[in-house]
Structure 1
Amino acid sequence: MTAIISTQTHDHLVKYLSTATGRDRIHRFVQYFSRFLVWHGQRNGYDKDLLARLTNLMGALGQTRKLMRVGRQVEFLRTIQKAAGLKDDVTRLTTIVKNTFLSLWLAHDTCQWVSCVRAIALASGASPL
Protein backbone atom coordinates (compact mmCIF):
# COMPACT_ATOMS: atom_id res chain seq x y z
CA MET A 1 0.00 0.00 0.00
CA THR A 2 2.94 2.31 0.65
CA ALA A 3 4.10 1.94 -2.92
CA ILE A 4 0.76 3.25 -4.21
CA ILE A 5 0.11 6.12 -1.75
CA SER A 6 2.81 7.98 0.14
CA THR A 7 2.92 7.93 3.93
CA GLN A 8 2.34 11.68 3.97
CA THR A 9 -0.89 11.18 2.03
CA HIS A 10 -1.89 8.45 4.50
CA ASP A 11 -1.26 10.78 7.42
CA HIS A 12 -3.32 13.59 5.87
CA LEU A 13 -6.18 11.18 5.17
CA VAL A 14 -6.10 9.84 8.74
CA LYS A 15 -6.10 13.39 10.14
CA TYR A 16 -9.12 14.32 8.01
CA LEU A 17 -11.06 11.19 8.94
CA SER A 18 -10.37 11.78 12.65
CA THR A 19 -12.21 15.11 12.61
CA ALA A 20 -15.55 13.27 12.48
CA THR A 21 -15.19 12.23 16.13
CA GLY A 22 -16.86 15.36 17.51
CA ARG A 23 -19.68 15.16 14.99
CA ASP A 24 -20.19 11.51 15.87
CA ARG A 25 -20.55 12.39 19.54
CA ILE A 26 -23.21 14.99 18.77
CA HIS A 27 -25.09 12.58 16.50
CA ARG A 28 -24.89 9.83 19.12
CA PHE A 29 -26.24 12.17 21.83
CA VAL A 30 -29.20 13.25 19.69
CA GLN A 31 -29.83 9.64 18.60
CA TYR A 32 -29.87 8.28 22.14
CA PHE A 33 -31.86 11.26 23.48
CA SER A 34 -34.44 10.59 20.76
CA ARG A 35 -34.51 6.96 21.86
CA PHE A 36 -35.15 8.11 25.43
CA LEU A 37 -37.94 10.44 24.26
CA VAL A 38 -39.59 7.60 22.31
CA TRP A 39 -39.42 5.34 25.36
CA HIS A 40 -40.78 8.10 27.61
CA GLY A 41 -43.44 9.01 25.07
CA GLN A 42 -44.66 5.43 24.76
CA ARG A 43 -45.04 5.15 28.51
CA ASN A 44 -46.90 8.47 28.80
CA GLY A 45 -49.08 8.29 25.70
CA TYR A 46 -47.48 10.92 23.46
CA ASP A 47 -48.76 11.54 19.96
CA LYS A 48 -48.03 8.57 17.67
CA ASP A 49 -46.96 10.89 14.84
CA LEU A 50 -44.32 12.51 17.07
CA LEU A 51 -43.06 9.10 18.18
CA ALA A 52 -42.83 7.94 14.55
CA ARG A 53 -40.83 11.03 13.61
CA LEU A 54 -38.46 10.51 16.54
CA THR A 55 -38.03 6.86 15.54
CA ASN A 56 -37.21 7.93 11.97
CA LEU A 57 -34.73 10.46 13.35
CA MET A 58 -33.03 7.71 15.37
CA GLY A 59 -32.67 5.53 12.28
CA ALA A 60 -31.40 8.36 10.10
CA LEU A 61 -28.81 9.39 12.66
CA GLY A 62 -27.65 5.80 13.03
CA GLN A 63 -27.13 5.53 9.27
CA THR A 64 -25.38 8.91 9.20
CA ARG A 65 -22.99 7.78 11.91
CA LYS A 66 -22.17 4.68 9.87
CA LEU A 67 -21.61 6.86 6.81
CA MET A 68 -19.17 9.05 8.76
CA ARG A 69 -17.15 5.94 9.64
CA VAL A 70 -16.77 4.84 6.00
CA GLY A 71 -13.09 4.80 5.11
CA ARG A 72 -11.75 4.97 8.66
CA GLN A 73 -10.22 1.53 8.12
CA VAL A 74 -7.30 3.40 6.56
CA GLU A 75 -6.50 4.91 9.96
CA PHE A 76 -6.19 1.48 11.56
CA LEU A 77 -4.27 0.02 8.63
CA ARG A 78 -1.82 2.94 8.89
CA THR A 79 -1.41 2.23 12.62
CA ILE A 80 -0.64 -1.41 11.79
CA GLN A 81 1.97 -0.23 9.32
CA LYS A 82 3.56 2.02 11.95
CA ALA A 83 3.40 -0.71 14.60
CA ALA A 84 5.45 -3.06 12.46
CA GLY A 85 8.49 -0.94 13.35
CA LEU A 86 8.04 -1.16 17.14
CA LYS A 87 10.82 -2.87 19.04
CA ASP A 88 8.76 -4.32 21.91
CA ASP A 89 7.22 -7.59 20.75
CA VAL A 90 4.22 -7.48 23.09
CA THR A 91 3.33 -3.90 22.18
CA ARG A 92 3.77 -4.60 18.48
CA LEU A 93 1.63 -7.76 18.59
CA THR A 94 -1.18 -6.24 20.65
CA THR A 95 -1.26 -3.09 18.53
CA ILE A 96 -1.40 -5.10 15.32
CA VAL A 97 -4.13 -7.44 16.62
CA LYS A 98 -6.22 -4.58 18.04
CA ASN A 99 -6.06 -2.49 14.89
CA THR A 100 -6.64 -5.48 12.62
CA PHE A 101 -9.91 -6.28 14.39
CA LEU A 102 -10.96 -2.63 14.48
CA SER A 103 -10.33 -2.41 10.74
CA LEU A 104 -12.34 -5.58 10.12
CA TRP A 105 -15.17 -4.27 12.30
CA LEU A 106 -15.30 -1.02 10.35
CA ALA A 107 -15.20 -2.89 7.04
CA HIS A 108 -18.19 -4.95 8.23
CA ASP A 109 -19.93 -1.78 9.40
CA THR A 110 -19.41 -0.24 5.95
CA CYS A 111 -20.86 -3.33 4.29
CA GLN A 112 -23.91 -3.09 6.55
CA TRP A 113 -24.38 0.57 5.63
CA VAL A 114 -24.04 -0.17 1.91
CA SER A 115 -26.58 -2.97 2.23
CA CYS A 116 -28.98 -0.89 4.33
CA VAL A 117 -29.07 2.01 1.88
CA ARG A 118 -29.29 -0.54 -0.94
CA ALA A 119 -26.31 0.87 -2.79
CA ILE A 120 -25.54 -2.63 -4.11
CA ALA A 121 -27.81 -5.29 -5.50
CA LEU A 122 -28.90 -7.87 -2.97
CA ALA A 123 -28.00 -11.53 -3.35
CA SER A 124 -31.65 -12.42 -3.93
CA GLY A 125 -31.57 -10.47 -7.20
CA ALA A 126 -33.77 -7.64 -5.93
CA SER A 127 -33.32 -4.22 -7.44
CA PRO A 128 -31.01 -1.94 -5.42
CA LEU A 129 -33.50 0.93 -5.68
Structure 2
Amino acid sequence: MDSWVRFNSQSQAKERIIRAAQYACTLLGYTLQKGGAGAELCKTVSQLEAHMSLTRKLLRLGNSVEALEAAKRAIHLSDGVLRLCLTVSHLNRAMYFACDNVLWAGKTGLISKLDQQKWSQRSFRYYLFALILNLTRDVYELRLLMESEARYRATKAPPSPYPSTTSPTDHLSPQASPAAMAVPIVSVRLRRQLHLLVMVLYNNPPLLLDLLKNSCDIFIPLDRLGIYPTGSGFVGACGLVSSVLSIVTMVHPWLKLKP
Protein backbone atom coordinates (compact mmCIF):
# COMPACT_ATOMS: atom_id res chain seq x y z
CA MET A 1 0.00 0.00 0.00
CA ASP A 2 2.74 2.49 0.96
CA SER A 3 4.76 1.69 -2.16
CA TRP A 4 1.72 2.35 -4.33
CA VAL A 5 1.08 5.68 -2.62
CA ARG A 6 4.71 6.71 -3.20
CA PHE A 7 4.52 5.67 -6.85
CA ASN A 8 1.21 7.45 -7.30
CA SER A 9 2.51 10.68 -5.79
CA GLN A 10 5.20 10.86 -8.48
CA SER A 11 2.54 11.16 -11.20
CA GLN A 12 0.68 13.99 -9.46
CA ALA A 13 3.02 16.67 -10.81
CA LYS A 14 2.47 15.44 -14.36
CA GLU A 15 -1.28 15.36 -13.79
CA ARG A 16 -1.23 18.95 -12.50
CA ILE A 17 0.72 20.15 -15.53
CA ILE A 18 -1.66 18.40 -17.92
CA ARG A 19 -4.59 19.82 -15.94
CA ALA A 20 -3.23 23.33 -16.39
CA ALA A 21 -2.81 22.68 -20.13
CA GLN A 22 -6.35 21.26 -20.35
CA TYR A 23 -7.98 24.31 -18.79
CA ALA A 24 -5.71 26.57 -20.83
CA CYS A 25 -7.20 24.86 -23.91
CA THR A 26 -10.70 25.43 -22.49
CA LEU A 27 -9.95 29.13 -22.07
CA LEU A 28 -8.28 29.30 -25.49
CA GLY A 29 -11.22 27.60 -27.18
CA TYR A 30 -13.64 30.07 -25.59
CA THR A 31 -11.46 33.00 -26.68
CA LEU A 32 -11.16 31.71 -30.24
CA GLN A 33 -14.89 31.12 -30.47
CA LYS A 34 -15.66 34.64 -29.22
CA GLY A 35 -13.06 36.05 -31.59
CA GLY A 36 -14.67 34.42 -34.60
CA ALA A 37 -11.92 31.91 -35.32
CA GLY A 38 -12.40 29.17 -37.87
CA ALA A 39 -14.46 26.11 -36.97
CA GLU A 40 -11.57 23.79 -37.80
CA LEU A 41 -9.22 25.53 -35.37
CA CYS A 42 -11.84 25.49 -32.60
CA LYS A 43 -12.44 21.79 -33.25
CA THR A 44 -8.71 21.06 -33.01
CA VAL A 45 -8.44 22.86 -29.65
CA SER A 46 -11.53 21.03 -28.38
CA GLN A 47 -10.07 17.66 -29.39
CA LEU A 48 -6.76 18.52 -27.72
CA GLU A 49 -8.65 19.36 -24.53
CA ALA A 50 -10.51 16.03 -24.69
CA HIS A 51 -7.24 14.10 -25.14
CA MET A 52 -5.70 15.87 -22.15
CA SER A 53 -8.77 15.09 -20.06
CA LEU A 54 -8.48 11.41 -20.97
CA THR A 55 -4.75 11.43 -20.15
CA ARG A 56 -5.49 12.96 -16.74
CA LYS A 57 -8.00 10.22 -16.03
CA LEU A 58 -5.33 7.65 -16.84
CA LEU A 59 -2.85 9.31 -14.46
CA ARG A 60 -5.50 9.36 -11.72
CA LEU A 61 -6.01 5.60 -11.77
CA GLY A 62 -5.51 4.43 -8.21
CA ASN A 63 -5.87 7.87 -6.62
CA SER A 64 -8.76 6.46 -4.59
CA VAL A 65 -6.21 4.45 -2.61
CA GLU A 66 -4.27 7.58 -1.72
CA ALA A 67 -7.49 9.39 -0.74
CA LEU A 68 -8.46 6.51 1.55
CA GLU A 69 -5.03 6.56 3.16
CA ALA A 70 -5.39 10.30 3.73
CA ALA A 71 -8.79 9.70 5.34
CA LYS A 72 -7.24 7.11 7.67
CA ARG A 73 -4.65 9.68 8.78
CA ALA A 74 -7.20 12.48 9.16
CA ILE A 75 -9.45 10.43 11.44
CA HIS A 76 -6.79 10.60 14.17
CA LEU A 77 -6.62 14.41 14.28
CA SER A 78 -7.30 15.89 17.71
CA ASP A 79 -9.39 18.82 16.47
CA GLY A 80 -12.96 17.60 15.95
CA VAL A 81 -13.85 20.05 13.18
CA LEU A 82 -10.70 19.33 11.19
CA ARG A 83 -11.14 15.60 11.75
CA LEU A 84 -14.70 15.68 10.38
CA CYS A 85 -13.99 17.99 7.43
CA LEU A 86 -10.81 16.30 6.26
CA THR A 87 -11.97 12.71 6.77
CA VAL A 88 -15.27 13.18 4.91
CA SER A 89 -13.54 15.28 2.24
CA HIS A 90 -10.98 12.54 1.55
CA LEU A 91 -13.73 9.92 1.41
CA ASN A 92 -15.60 12.01 -1.15
CA ARG A 93 -12.40 12.43 -3.13
CA ALA A 94 -12.00 8.66 -3.11
CA MET A 95 -15.51 8.26 -4.53
CA TYR A 96 -14.84 11.01 -7.08
CA PHE A 97 -11.69 9.26 -8.30
CA ALA A 98 -13.54 5.92 -8.42
CA CYS A 99 -16.25 7.43 -10.64
CA ASP A 100 -13.52 9.06 -12.73
CA ASN A 101 -11.88 5.66 -13.22
CA VAL A 102 -15.18 4.22 -14.41
CA LEU A 103 -15.52 7.12 -16.85
CA TRP A 104 -12.03 6.43 -18.18
CA ALA A 105 -12.94 2.79 -18.74
CA GLY A 106 -16.08 3.87 -20.57
CA LYS A 107 -14.28 6.39 -22.78
CA THR A 108 -11.61 3.87 -23.74
CA GLY A 109 -14.18 1.19 -24.54
CA LEU A 110 -13.30 -1.16 -21.69
CA ILE A 111 -16.86 -0.80 -20.40
CA SER A 112 -19.42 -0.82 -23.19
CA LYS A 113 -22.77 0.95 -23.04
CA LEU A 114 -21.72 3.09 -20.08
CA ASP A 115 -23.94 6.07 -19.33
CA GLN A 116 -21.11 8.58 -19.30
CA GLN A 117 -23.36 11.56 -18.53
CA LYS A 118 -24.72 9.84 -15.43
CA TRP A 119 -21.26 8.89 -14.13
CA SER A 120 -19.88 12.32 -14.93
CA GLN A 121 -22.63 14.01 -12.92
CA ARG A 122 -22.07 11.56 -10.08
CA SER A 123 -18.32 12.25 -9.98
CA PHE A 124 -18.85 16.02 -10.00
CA ARG A 125 -21.27 15.75 -7.07
CA TYR A 126 -18.61 13.99 -5.00
CA TYR A 127 -16.06 16.57 -6.15
CA LEU A 128 -18.34 19.46 -5.17
CA PHE A 129 -19.00 18.08 -1.69
CA ALA A 130 -15.26 17.55 -1.13
CA LEU A 131 -14.55 21.15 -2.13
CA ILE A 132 -17.29 22.47 0.17
CA LEU A 133 -15.69 20.60 3.07
CA ASN A 134 -12.24 21.90 2.10
CA LEU A 135 -13.52 25.46 2.07
CA THR A 136 -15.21 24.88 5.42
CA ARG A 137 -11.86 23.73 6.80
CA ASP A 138 -10.15 26.83 5.36
CA VAL A 139 -12.71 29.18 6.90
CA TYR A 140 -12.47 27.37 10.24
CA GLU A 141 -8.68 27.65 10.34
CA LEU A 142 -8.91 31.29 9.26
CA ARG A 143 -11.31 32.03 12.12
CA LEU A 144 -9.01 30.34 14.64
CA LEU A 145 -6.00 32.32 13.42
CA MET A 146 -7.94 35.59 13.49
CA GLU A 147 -9.08 34.94 17.06
CA SER A 148 -5.53 34.05 18.08
CA GLU A 149 -4.13 37.18 16.43
CA ALA A 150 -6.80 39.35 18.10
CA ARG A 151 -5.94 37.92 21.52
CA TYR A 152 -2.23 38.47 20.87
CA ARG A 153 -2.81 42.08 19.94
CA ALA A 154 -4.99 42.63 22.99
CA THR A 155 -2.26 41.35 25.32
CA LYS A 156 0.55 43.23 23.57
CA ALA A 157 -1.26 46.57 23.29
CA PRO A 158 0.16 48.95 25.93
CA PRO A 159 -2.48 50.42 28.25
CA SER A 160 -3.10 54.10 27.72
CA PRO A 161 -2.05 56.29 30.71
CA TYR A 162 -4.87 58.66 29.92
CA PRO A 163 -8.59 57.87 29.90
CA SER A 164 -10.18 57.75 26.52
CA THR A 165 -12.13 60.91 25.85
CA THR A 166 -13.31 60.32 22.31
CA SER A 167 -15.37 57.70 20.57
CA PRO A 168 -16.60 57.21 17.01
CA THR A 169 -19.96 58.73 17.98
CA ASP A 170 -18.71 61.85 19.78
CA HIS A 171 -19.04 64.00 16.68
CA LEU A 172 -22.74 63.21 16.43
CA SER A 173 -25.32 65.42 18.01
CA PRO A 174 -27.23 64.19 21.05
CA GLN A 175 -30.37 64.16 18.92
CA ALA A 176 -28.88 61.65 16.47
CA SER A 177 -30.89 58.48 16.01
CA PRO A 178 -29.57 55.14 17.37
CA ALA A 179 -29.18 53.88 13.79
CA ALA A 180 -27.01 56.87 12.87
CA MET A 181 -24.89 56.40 15.97
CA ALA A 182 -24.41 52.70 15.22
CA VAL A 183 -23.06 53.26 11.68
CA PRO A 184 -19.61 54.62 12.72
CA ILE A 185 -19.17 51.84 15.28
CA VAL A 186 -19.98 49.14 12.73
CA SER A 187 -17.69 50.79 10.17
CA VAL A 188 -14.75 50.83 12.61
CA ARG A 189 -15.32 47.19 13.53
CA LEU A 190 -15.51 46.14 9.89
CA ARG A 191 -12.25 47.96 9.10
CA ARG A 192 -10.55 46.27 12.05
CA GLN A 193 -11.80 42.84 11.01
CA LEU A 194 -10.76 43.43 7.40
CA HIS A 195 -7.30 44.55 8.47
CA LEU A 196 -7.02 41.51 10.74
CA LEU A 197 -8.13 39.22 7.90
CA VAL A 198 -5.53 40.66 5.51
CA MET A 199 -2.76 40.38 8.09
CA VAL A 200 -3.61 36.75 8.94
CA LEU A 201 -3.69 35.70 5.27
CA TYR A 202 -0.49 37.63 4.56
CA ASN A 203 1.29 35.84 7.41
CA ASN A 204 -0.08 32.41 6.41
CA PRO A 205 0.64 31.82 2.69
CA PRO A 206 -0.36 28.09 2.78
CA LEU A 207 -3.85 28.99 4.01
CA LEU A 208 -4.16 31.81 1.47
CA LEU A 209 -3.15 29.56 -1.45
CA ASP A 210 -5.45 26.75 -0.34
CA LEU A 211 -8.37 29.17 0.05
CA LEU A 212 -7.75 30.64 -3.41
CA LYS A 213 -7.34 27.21 -5.00
CA ASN A 214 -10.54 25.79 -3.51
CA SER A 215 -12.47 28.98 -4.31
CA CYS A 216 -11.45 28.68 -7.95
CA ASP A 217 -12.06 24.94 -8.14
CA ILE A 218 -15.59 25.08 -6.75
CA PHE A 219 -16.89 26.90 -9.84
CA ILE A 220 -16.00 23.89 -12.00
CA PRO A 221 -18.49 21.37 -10.51
CA LEU A 222 -21.04 24.15 -9.98
CA ASP A 223 -20.96 24.83 -13.72
CA ARG A 224 -20.84 21.18 -14.78
CA LEU A 225 -23.81 20.29 -12.55
CA GLY A 226 -25.82 23.29 -13.77
CA ILE A 227 -26.12 24.72 -10.25
CA TYR A 228 -24.34 27.96 -11.14
CA PRO A 229 -23.49 28.09 -14.85
CA THR A 230 -20.57 30.43 -15.55
CA GLY A 231 -19.48 29.43 -19.04
CA SER A 232 -16.43 27.65 -20.41
CA GLY A 233 -14.26 30.79 -20.37
CA PHE A 234 -14.67 31.39 -16.65
CA VAL A 235 -14.31 27.67 -15.89
CA GLY A 236 -11.13 27.54 -17.96
CA ALA A 237 -9.66 30.55 -16.14
CA CYS A 238 -10.53 29.14 -12.71
CA GLY A 239 -9.13 25.72 -13.58
CA LEU A 240 -5.93 27.24 -14.93
CA VAL A 241 -5.39 29.40 -11.82
CA SER A 242 -6.06 26.54 -9.40
CA SER A 243 -3.74 24.24 -11.38
CA VAL A 244 -0.92 26.78 -11.26
CA LEU A 245 -1.43 27.18 -7.50
CA SER A 246 -1.29 23.39 -7.08
CA ILE A 247 1.95 23.25 -9.05
CA VAL A 248 3.41 26.00 -6.85
CA THR A 249 2.64 23.97 -3.71
CA MET A 250 4.38 20.96 -5.27
CA VAL A 251 7.47 22.96 -6.19
CA HIS A 252 7.52 24.56 -2.72
CA PRO A 253 6.09 21.96 -0.29
CA TRP A 254 6.14 24.42 2.64
CA LEU A 255 3.29 26.25 0.89
CA LYS A 256 1.01 23.20 1.17
CA LEU A 257 -1.55 23.52 3.94
CA LYS A 258 -1.13 20.89 6.64
CA PRO A 259 -2.52 18.60 7.86
TM-score by length of 1: 0.73
What residue in structure 2 maps to residue 38 of structure 1? 29
What residue in structure 2 maps to residue 74 of structure 1? 65
Q: Deviations over 1:36-75 (max 9, x none)?
A: 2212212222222221111100111111111111111111
Fraction of identical pairs, as percent: 27
Are 1:49 and 2:35 counterparts?
no
Q: State the distance in 2 between where 1:92 and 1:123 align.
A: 36
Residues 1:39 and 1:95: Cα distance change in structure 2 (over 3 Å): closer
- Within-5 A mapping of 1:97-112: 97-112=88-103
Q: State the distance in 1 between where 2:77 and 2:24 align.
A: 45
Supply the AA of the counterpart residue of 2:90: N
Structure 2 stretches lacking a partner, 5+ long: 116-259
Q: State the distance in 2 between where 1:88 and 1:39 align.
A: 46
Residues 1:53 and 1:123: Cα distance change in structure 2 (over 3 Å): closer
Which one of the candidate residues 39, 44, 59 is aligned to 2:50? 59
For these two proteins, the number of residue pairs brought into alignment is 114
Residues 1:97 and 1:29: Cα distance change in structure 2 (over 3 Å): closer
Residues 1:39 and 1:96: Cα distance change in structure 2 (over 3 Å): closer
- Maintained 8 Å contact 2:106/2:114: no
TM-score by length of 2: 0.39
Q: Larger C-alpha radius of gyration, 1 or 2?
A: 2
The ranges of structure 1 where at least 4 consecutive aligned residues each deviate by more than 6 angstroms after the TM superposition are none
Residues 1:32 and 1:11: Cα distance change in structure 2 (over 3 Å): same
Residues 1:53 and 1:122: Cα distance change in structure 2 (over 3 Å): same
Query: Which region of structure 1 is more displaced relative to structure 2, 40-49 or 74-83?
Result: 74-83
Supply the AA of the counterpart residue of 1:88: S
Structure 1 stretches lacking a partner, 5+ long: 1-9, 125-129
Q: Deviations over 1:56-100 (max 9, x none)?
A: 00111111111111111111222344456x373725554432322
Residues 1:13 and 1:42: Cα distance change in structure 2 (over 3 Å): same
Supply the AA of the counterpart residue of 2:55: T
- Alpha-carbon RMSD across the aligned residues, in angstroms, is 2.3
